[in-house]
A and B are shown apart, each in its own frame.
Chain A
Amino acid sequence: MIWIDTIIQGILLGGLYALFAAGLSLVFGIMRLVNLAHGDLIILGAYIILISVTVLGLNPFFAILIAAPLMFALGWALQKLVLNRTLGEDILPPLLVTFGLSVVIQNGLLEGFSADSQRISAGALETASISVGPISMGVLPLLTFGSAILVIVVLNHIFYRTAIGRAFRATSDDAVTASLMGIKPERVFATATGLAMVVAAIAALYLGVRANFDPSIGPARLIYAFEAVIIGGLGSLWGTLLGGVIIGVAQTVGAAINPEWQILAGHVAFLVVLLIRPRGLFPRGN
């Protein structure tokens, strides 16, 4: 029974990793841009929520209504003013620039908020749980997992059923021909990054409520996000969720065997998937 419990906790943890990864997957899928600052942007989002909660006294779930539009605007401006200039045949400039951005965000947060660990308080919700037979599940992990599914459903809907989604796919296929259709690729990319940052804000909420955070933990979150995206297959959002779940389960199972093995087990699972399916479980065309 302990194993079933462990696996369920792992699956639910995978929801959080999928939230970390969904924005990364979206941006990569549309503009082949690997955003090395994604983890730090999530942490930045967590601080925005933290300020809204402590200064304005808001419930964190309402604070997201402030953080999400702010993060959208930030992502939009970041793409429009900085990242669009790095896109091209060469994949190195976006890597360098987002790496630099990661350093800037970490040090900016360190300057503004010190290196102290912070936490977003969600009151009784943090410890609430429901029991299904002998299995007890935390309400917060369940909410996290449910949010991950909802985010993926909504993103897929946007991607495949709306005008902006058509523009995303067309621009991703061929930006020059898309511009002949009246599309401004740089504007489409800015919207995509804005959307990715909204997802990052949601990830930040659950990250900050679930555990302590400080300005330096972004890159470690980025690694989990990367692994989830790559396990799932680049550009597939449901694959990303599955990737998150695989890492989550590997980590909780590893931790159940030996607490020191938690992080290691996640990375080993990632390597095993790469050995068997080098392009991930659900690679998208081409």
Chain B
Amino acid sequence: MALLETKGLTAHYGDFQALFGVDIHLEQGETVAIIGANGAGKTTLMRSITGVLRNAPEQILHNETPIGHLPADTIMKRGIAMVPEGRKLFPSLSVEENLIIGGQHKGGRDLGDRIDSFLSRFTGAPDPMELAAGHDGAGYWTLETIYELFPILRERRHNPGTALSGGQQQMVAIGRALMSNPYVLLCDEISLGLAPVVIKDIYAALPKIKESGASVIVVEQDIGQALAVADRVYCMMEGRVTLEGRPSEISRDDIHAAYFGAVA
């Protein structure tokens, strides 16, 4: 049983169709990389899975439950957390507050959800606690363990999130997503705009993240980085998956063809 699966996923921005029947899956404990050029539909795929873009229910399955129609906050409460492209830290919040808010509304911890859950007995609306599928957000990751993973953040914890360097901001964004102790961590372009040495530091955290029980999807433009960390790779082009395979099984020519649409 796949932990997370898309089936014939389509996505539109107005009249523009961005995804044409994308099928990917993520197994428990896996790291999957999604590569592709700008405009290939990688970020749209992430936005669909996280519920920022809404889809038909059956197009996205989490533990075989249809979730394509659920809003972003419910998806997060099911244990699917996102490190968004461009980091998107909250400028009004300090580093520590940015981390705390990542875990503040995890499954079942939210007063509003408890009230809605109670009301749903009478109104027939879907019960938000049920939609959260029992993910209680408990686990290895706390402020303390995030600071162990990225010690520099402890020193900077009272700074505004946006006053940090790009790499440190990325650490905050990753820590913020981990604070909900997700089953699935989606990382969108986490190396974009960072120096190679900083990228290395960020990816050095991946084994620890895997050890905590999260399965990971990384979206990367850096093919070398993607092949180095992933168990399986999908390559996308123009809204379709053009290649799938294990890094050891696919050749440079395969990737080149899948990435650019022509063999060099």
Residues in chain A within 8 A of chain B (CB atoms): 163, 166-167, 169-170, 172-174, 176-184, 187, 285
Contacts and interface: CB of A to CB of B under 8 A. Distances in A.
A181 B104 contact: yes
A182 B129 CA distance: 12
B135 to A, nearest CB: 10
A183 B72 CA distance: 9
Interface residues of B, number: 28
Interface of B: 50-52, 71-73, 76-77, 81-82, 84, 88, 90-93, 97, 100-102, 104-107, 110, 112, 176, 180
A45 to B, nearest CB: 24
Contacts of B50: 180
Given A170-B93, A179-B71, 12 more contacts: A170-B90, A173-B93, A177-B84, A177-B90, A180-B81, A181-B101, A182-B73, A182-B180, A183-B105, A184-B71, A187-B112, A285-B91
B90 A174 contact: yes
Nearest to B72: A179
A189 B219 CA distance: 32
B92 A183 contact: no
Contacts of A182: 73, 76-77, 104-107, 110, 180
Nearest to B91: A173
A169 B73 CA distance: 17
B101 A172 contact: no
Given A173-B90, A182-B180, A166 B112 contact: no
A19 to B, nearest CB: 25
B185 to A, nearest CB: 12
19 contacts: A166-B93, A166-B97, A167-B105, A169-B90, A170-B101, A173-B90, A173-B91, A173-B92, A177-B88, A179-B52, A180-B52, A180-B76, A181-B102, A181-B105, A181-B176, A182-B76, A183-B105, A184-B73, A285-B92
Q: Which of A167, A173, A178, A181 has the most CB of B within 10 A?
A: A181
Contact of B92 (A172, A181, A184, A187): A172
A285 B163 CA distance: 14
Contacts of A169: 90, 92-93
Given A181-B101, A182-B180, A170 B92 contact: yes
Nearest to A190: B112
Contacts of B106: 182
Q: Which of B71, B73, B176 has the most CB of A within 10 A?
A: B73
Contacts of A163: 104
Contacts of B72: 176, 179-180
Contacts of A170: 90, 92-93, 101
Contacts of B97: 166
Given A173-B90, A174-B90, A179-B71, A166 B52 contact: no
Contacts of A179: 51-52, 71-73, 76
A246 to B, nearest CB: 26
Contacts of A178: 90
